[in-house]
Chains A and B, each alone.
Chain A
Amino acid sequence: MATAITIRARSRTREILIRLSAYLAIFVALVLTLFPIYWIAANSFKFDIDIFAVPPEWLPWHPTLKHYDEAFIQRPFLRYALNSFLVAMGTTIVSLVFGTMAGYALARFSYPWQWRKQISFWILSTRMMPPIVSIIPLYLFFNFFDMLNTKSALIIAYTAFNLPFATWMMKSYFQDLPVELEEAAMVDGDTRWGAFLHVALPLARPGLAATAIFCLIISWNEFLLSLIITLTEQSQTLPIGIAGRVTQYKTYWGEISAAGFMACVPIVIFAFIVQKHLVRGLSLGAVKG
C-alpha cells in the first residue's frame, strides 16, 4: 500500500516536471524565434546613432520613420516591392492554371504503361533541381531573346519551380475529394471537363487558395534567379534591392532593416492565412496535416 502511494507520488512529480519543462521549452523557443524578428523591426525604427549604440538599445526609445522614408521614398524600394508583387502574381497565375489541370489529370485519369506514376515522379524530381544549375542556360537563353532585365523572364524562370509544386499540391487535394460527385454530375449529362470545372474545382477551393499563397511566398522570397536575370530597378525584386544595400564598403543598416522588415510583413500575414495547410504545403502534398 505504502509503496503504491510512493510510486504514484513519484509519477505525479515526474508528470509535473515534464509539464514544466515543456512549458519552459515553449517559452525559450518563442523567445529565440521572435527575438531576431523583433530586433530587425526595432532597428528599422531607430536613428543610426541608436543602431550603433553599445550597449545596444533594447527598445527604440527615439522611434523614427527616417529609414522607411530613405528606403521607400528616396530610394526605389517601393518599385522593388511592386516588381516582387507583379512577378509573384504572374508566376502564381501561370502555375495555378496549369498545375491545377495537371494535378487533376494525375489524380483522376488512368494512363497506359504506368505513365501516371512516371510523370508524377518526373514532375517531382524537377522540383528537386537546384536553381543554381539553371542559371547559366537561363542567362544565355534570356540574353539570346533579349529578355534579360524583364519581369516576364522572371515569371518564366520562377514557373519552373512553382509549377511542379502546384501540380503536386493540387494532385494531393483532388485525391482527397470523393470521385462520386463528379460521376454523379456526368450521369446527369455533364461532360468530363464540365465535371472538373463545375464540381471538382469549387470543392478544391481551399486547396487552390493555399496553393496560390504558397506560390506567392516562394516567388516573393526568391533571390538567386532574380540576381542573375535582373539588372536595374525596372525589374529588380525586393530581395535584390536589399542585398544591393550591403556593399563591400558600407552596409546601410537602417535601410535594409526597414526594407527587410517590410518584406517579412506580408509573409507573416500569409502564414496565418494558410496555417491549416502549412504541413501539406511544405511537404509538397506528401504529408497531410
Chain B
Amino acid sequence: MSISANATSTAPVRPGGTLERWAERHLRVLMLAPTVLILLGLTIFPSIYMFYAAVHKISPNPDVPWDFVGPGNFLRLLSDQQFHVALLNTAVFTIAAVTVEFALGLGLALLLDKYIRRMTFLKTVLMIPMMLPPIAVAITWKIIYEPQFGVLNEIMFRLGLPAQAWAGDVDLAMFSIIVADVWQWTPFIFLLMLAGLASLPVEPYEAAELDGASSWRQFWDLTVPFLKPVIAIAVLLRVMDALRLFDLVFILTGGGPADRTKVLSLYIYQVAYRFADPGYAAAISLFVLFATIILSTWFMKRMRLAE
C-alpha cells in the first residue's frame, strides 16, 4: 500500500550532502507542507480576520478607525428582513434547481445509458454547458429572455401564449434563474450518473432477471443502492455550488425585481460594496461559512468521502 518514507533512511549510504539526506528523510512532510501552509494562509487566516471585522463597525473611509461593536452585527442578522429574504431565496433556488437537475439528469441517464455509451463525441457535446463561463451563460440567457426581441417570447407568440418579462417579472424571475442553471448543470448530474451506471456489476441483474423481478424492482433494489455513492457526491457538489450562486443573478436580475432573486452571495456583495458596511457583510459571511461547513462536513462524514 503505502511505502514509509523512513524506509529509505535505512538503505545503504547514498550520494548527496547532508541537506539532501535530511530532505529525503522528511520527504513526506516536505511534499505536503507547501500545500497545507498555502491553504492555511488562504482559509484560516481570512476566517479569523473576518471574525475580527465582524465585531467592528467599519467605515468606508480608511482614515476612520474601526469601531468595536461586539456581537452587534450578529444580532442584526436576527432582525434584518433582507437577510431573511436572501436566506429564503437561496434555499428555494438550491432545492428547486438541484431537484430538477437531479430528476432530469438521472432520468436521461437511465433512458440513454444503453444507447449513448459508445457515442463519446455526442456525450461530450451534451457536456459543453457546464464547462462554459457562467458569465457567458448568463448573457446568453439574457438575450433569450429579452422581453422585446428575445427568442423566448417569439416562441411564446408562436404557441399562442402571452409574452412575458421573464427575468424582469416578479413571479418569473426566480424561475428564469433556475431554468438557466438547470440548462448549465443538468449535464453534470447526467455525466456522473452515466459513469455510475457504467460501473454497475452485471451479475445481480442477471439473478434478478431469473427471479422474475420487474424492472421497477430492479431499479429500487439494485440500481439505487449501487449508485448511492455517486449520487451522494453529485448532490453534495451541486448543493455547494448552488449555495454560492452569484454570476447568473448578477447579470440576469441584479437581485430584483422586488428582491425576488436576491440570494446570499449577492446580498453580501451589496452590503459590502453598495451599502459600504464590510463589518456587517463579514458577519453574514461568517454565518454562510459556518452553515456550509456544517452542511458539507455532515454530508462528507456521512458518505465517507474522505477515504
Task: State whether A221 touches B133 (Cβ < 8 A).
Answer: yes
Please tell me the number of chain A residues within 8 Å of chain B, measured between CB atoms.
108
Beta-carbon nearest neighbor of A248 in chain B: B254
Is A90's CB within 8 Å of the partner chain B? no
Contacts of B129 on A, CB cut-off 8 Å? 33, 36-37
Task: State whether B46 touches A138 (Cβ < 8 A).
Answer: yes
Partner of A160 from the list B24, B43, B305 (CB cut-off 8 Å) is B43
CA distance A1 to B61 in the complex (A): 91
Beta-carbon nearest neighbor of B295 in chain A: A128
CA distance A138 to B148 in the complex (A): 40
Contacts of A223 on B, CB cut-off 8 Å? 133-135, 246-247, 250
Beta-carbon nearest neighbor of A36 in chain B: B140
Which of B74-82, B204-212, B216-224, B230-238 binds A?
A: B230-238
Contacts of A86 on B, CB cut-off 8 Å? none
Contacts of A33 on B, CB cut-off 8 Å? 125-126, 128-129, 183, 187
Contacts of A263 on B, CB cut-off 8 Å? 133, 135-136
CA distance A124 to B237 in the complex (A): 11
Per-residue B-contact encoding for A98-117, CB less than 8 Å = 1, 0 else: 11011011111111000001
Contacts of B50 on A, CB cut-off 8 Å? 133-134, 136-137
Is A89's CB within 8 Å of the partner chain B? no
Is B63's CB within 8 Å of the partner chain A? no
> How many inter-chain contacts with C-beta < 8 Å in the A-B complex?
310
Partner of B133 from the list A56, A135, A264, A284 (CB cut-off 8 Å) is A264
Is B261's CB within 8 Å of the partner chain A? no
Is B262's CB within 8 Å of the partner chain A? no
Is B200's CB within 8 Å of the partner chain A? no
A25-B14 CB under 8 A given contacts A137-B46, A272-B124 = no
Contacts of A54 on B, CB cut-off 8 Å? 148-149, 154
Is B306's CB within 8 Å of the partner chain A? yes
Q: Give the A-binding residues of B (Cβ under 8 A).
A: 1-5, 7-8, 11, 14, 16, 23-24, 27-28, 31-32, 34-36, 38-39, 42-43, 45-47, 49-50, 53, 108, 111-112, 114-116, 120, 122-137, 139-144, 148-149, 151, 154, 157, 183, 187-188, 191-192, 195-196, 198-199, 229-230, 233-234, 237, 240, 243-244, 246-247, 250-251, 264-265, 268-269, 272, 278, 281-282, 285-286, 288-289, 292-293, 296-297, 300, 305-307
Task: State whether A264 touches B272 (Cβ < 8 A).
Answer: no
CA distance A130 to B157 in the complex (A): 40
Beta-carbon nearest neighbor of B46 in chain A: A137
- Can you name 29 A-B pairs with beta carbons within 8 Å? A23-B115, A26-B122, A30-B126, A37-B140, A55-B157, A101-B35, A102-B36, A119-B32, A120-B306, A124-B306, A128-B292, A128-B296, A133-B292, A136-B53, A136-B282, A179-B2, A179-B3, A182-B3, A191-B24, A193-B27, A196-B31, A220-B133, A221-B134, A242-B136, A242-B139, A264-B133, A282-B192, A282-B237, A287-B229
Task: State whether A243 touches B135 (Cβ < 8 A).
Answer: yes
Contacts of B286 on A, CB cut-off 8 Å? 133
Is A283's CB within 8 Å of the partner chain B? yes
Beta-carbon nearest neighbor of A52 in chain B: B149
Task: State whether A108 touches B191 (Cβ < 8 A).
Answer: no
